[in-house]
């Protein structure tokens, strides 16, 4: 596909993202599938759209340096695409300018051309200005989120988190022994290298699609192994995995149990449960029963039975602050005070599920957030409400080069 058409798709994707509540990944996937793109064009589109969203504050500051006046939103999108290509993607200047200018309406092309050509002339200065920006601006983190990080982690750590959160995540996979695991050829073809301290996880330069399709491996961040390994169920246990989709943690629970015993994995009916079922089948997991339902609904099947569980894993919906590098648009969806409603939802979910825990059983509460109000503070409230539980262990990780941020607490 000509790159001009690819850039038009980028504009369409960014427009839909701004004007809807859809997640950017689902929009990209839909548009790319509809356009029947080859892998290179898909990667080009993904690079630009996610790059623009990941760096919105930086692009906004650069545009203000290049033009002080008001710019219409449709023109601004086009300029951002051009600036990202010139300054951060390092597309050849002539291609970035000419192809981007042609995206604009005829009467706006002169303005877009002037701004982008000035950016080419002044790119050393513009890139140099990055170092003088405040960290929240430099790494395009909303101020109300960055200020929370400074308060919780301190100035130096907050900046490290912001830096990691603004990077594109590395590609990692987990070898799946239930389907034979990765072969030497898989490892060679994917240019894979082991992730330190996370057995069976590999960094890869490119995805081994045949191995993924055959279930020999699963695309998964190493941090997702923390919660299921902390729970560490045995094959004799009855296990409940709540909010289980897409199935990465469920599959590790199954490995802990040697693919024996019984896991009940639940999630909302529809695409999430369907994806969970498909992933588990492909991975060769045989000890899981998938059930669909809303945990907070009175009609949930879990509460119509007398079953109680030895082990429960509940990976609650959260702010995603530990996985911004993987979910580039999540930070722009969080409004000031975002933890209040989330923490209430998280507590209600845990509150509803604890009566299903056997006497002497254990439960892991897990999030992909690094915000204390969703994590250790919420665990304290759980223990206060259910004093028969105590905190046995706790893991809290901020994002780093080799993994995302995550929180998990083992209670029993």
As given in the structure block, the two tokens for residue 276 are 């969970």
Same domain, 192 and 108: no
Active site residue ranges: 368
CB 410 within 8 A of CB 231: yes
> In this structure, are 213 and 153 located in the same domain?
no
Query: Could you tell me if 117 and 190 lie in one domain?
Result: no
Count CB-CB contacts under 10 A for residue 52: 24
Tens digit of pLDDT at every position of the chain (412 positions): 556 688 899 999 999 999 998 999 999 988 888 877 788 888 899 999 999 999 999 999 999 999 887 888 899 999 999 999 999 998 888 888 898 999 888 888 999 999 999 999 999 999 999 989 999 999 999 999 999 999 999 999 999 999 999 999 999 999 999 999 999 999 999 999 999 999 999 999 999 999 999 999 999 999 999 999 999 999 999 999 999 999 999 999 999 999 999 999 999 888 889 999 999 999 999 999 999 887 777 666 677 667 899 999 999 999 999 999 999 999 999 999 999 999 999 999 999 999 999 999 999 999 999 999 999 999 999 999 999 999 999 999 999 999 999 999 999 9
73 and 41 within one domain: yes
In a shared domain, residues 188 and 317: no
The confidence score (pLDDT) of residue 94 equals: 86
H/E segment holding residue 409: strand 406-411
Residue 331, both tokens? 């930070």
Q: Among all chains, which residue has been given the structure tokens 């409004």?
A: 335
Give CA angle at 384 (381, 388), nearest 5°. Answer: 130
Co-location of 189 and 235 in the same domain: no
Q: Are residues 130 and 193 in the same domain?
A: no
CATH number at residue 277: 3.40.50.150
Distances (CA, A) of 10 to 35, 42, 81, 286, 333: 12, 10, 8, 41, 20
> Which domain CATH number covers 86?
1.10.940.10
The answer on 325 and 254 residing in a single domain is yes
- 246 in the same domain as 181: no
d(CA 46, CA 29) in angstroms, rounded, equals: 9
Angle between helices 24-34 and 39-54 (to 10 degrees): 150
The residue out of 149, 166, 183 marking a domain boundary is 166
Among 180, 198, 220, the domain boundary falls at 220
Q: How many structural domains are present in the chain?
A: 4
What's residue 204's pLDDT? 96
Range of the domain at 307: 223-411
Which of 87, 121, 138 terminates a domain? The answer is: 138
Cβ–Cβ contacts within 10 Å for residue 359, how many? 6
pTM of the model: 0.92
Q: What is the CATH number of the domain that holds 193?
A: 3.30.70
Query: Cα–chain-centroid distance for residue 324?
Result: 6
Q: Are residues 291 and 273 in the same domain?
A: yes
Query: Using CA of residue 52, residue 80, residue 93, residue 25, what is the dihedral sign?
Result: positive
**Is the domain of 144 the same as that of 130?**
no
Whether residues 197 and 214 share a domain: the answer is yes
- Cβ-contact 168, 200 below 8 angstroms: no
């Amino acid at each position: 596909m000509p790159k001009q058409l690819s850039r038009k798709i980028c504009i369409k994707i960014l427009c839909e993202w701004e004007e809807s509540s859809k997640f950017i990944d689902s929009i990209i996937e839909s548009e790319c599938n509809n356009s029947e793109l080859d892998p290179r064009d898909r990667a080009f589109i993904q690079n630009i759209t996610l790059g623009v969203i990941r760096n919105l504050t930086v692009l906004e500051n650069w545009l203000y340096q290049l033009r002080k006046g008001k710019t219409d939103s449709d023109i601004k999108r086009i300029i951002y695409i051009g600036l990202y290509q010139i300054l951060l993607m390092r597309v050849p200047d002539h291609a970035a300018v000419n192809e981007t200018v042609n995206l604009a309406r005829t009467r706006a092309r002169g303005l877009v051309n002037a701004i982008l050509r000035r950016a080419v002339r002044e790119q050393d200065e513009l890139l140099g200005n990055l170092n003088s920006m405040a960290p929240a601006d430099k790494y395009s983190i909303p101020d109300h989120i960055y200020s929370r990080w400074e308060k919780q982690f301190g100035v130096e750590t907050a900046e490290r988190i912001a830096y990691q959160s603004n990077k594109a995540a590395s590609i990692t996979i987990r070898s799946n022994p239930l389907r034979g695991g990765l072969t030497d050829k898989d490892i060679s073809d994917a240019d894979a290298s082991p992730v330190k301290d996370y057995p069976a996880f590999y960094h890869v330069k490119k995805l081994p699609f045949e191995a993924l399709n055959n279930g020999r491996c699963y695309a998964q961040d190493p941090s997702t192994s923390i919660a299921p390994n902390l729970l560490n169920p045995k094959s004799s246990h009855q296990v409940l995995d709540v909010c289980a989709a897409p199935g990465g943690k469920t599959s590790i629970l199954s490995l802990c149990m040697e693919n024996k015993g019984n896991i009940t994995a639940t999630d909302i009916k529809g695409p999430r449960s369907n994806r969970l079922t498909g992933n588990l089948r492909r991975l060769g997991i045989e000890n899981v029963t998938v059930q669909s339902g809303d945990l907070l609904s009175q009609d949930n099947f879990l509460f119509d039975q007398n079953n109680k569980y030895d082990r429960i894993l509940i990976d609650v919906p959260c702010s995603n602050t530990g996985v911004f590098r993987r979910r580039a648009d999540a930070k722009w969806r969080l409004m000031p005070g975002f933890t209040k409603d989330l923490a209430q939802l998280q507590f209600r979910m845990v509150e509803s599920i604890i009566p299903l825990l056997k006497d002497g059983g254990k439960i892991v509460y897990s999030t992909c957030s690094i915000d204390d109000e969703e994590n250790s503070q919420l665990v304290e409230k759980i223990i206060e409400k259910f004093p028969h539980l105590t905190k046995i262990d706790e893991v809290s990780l901020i994002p780093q080069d080799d993994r995302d941020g995550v929180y998990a607490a083992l209670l029993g």
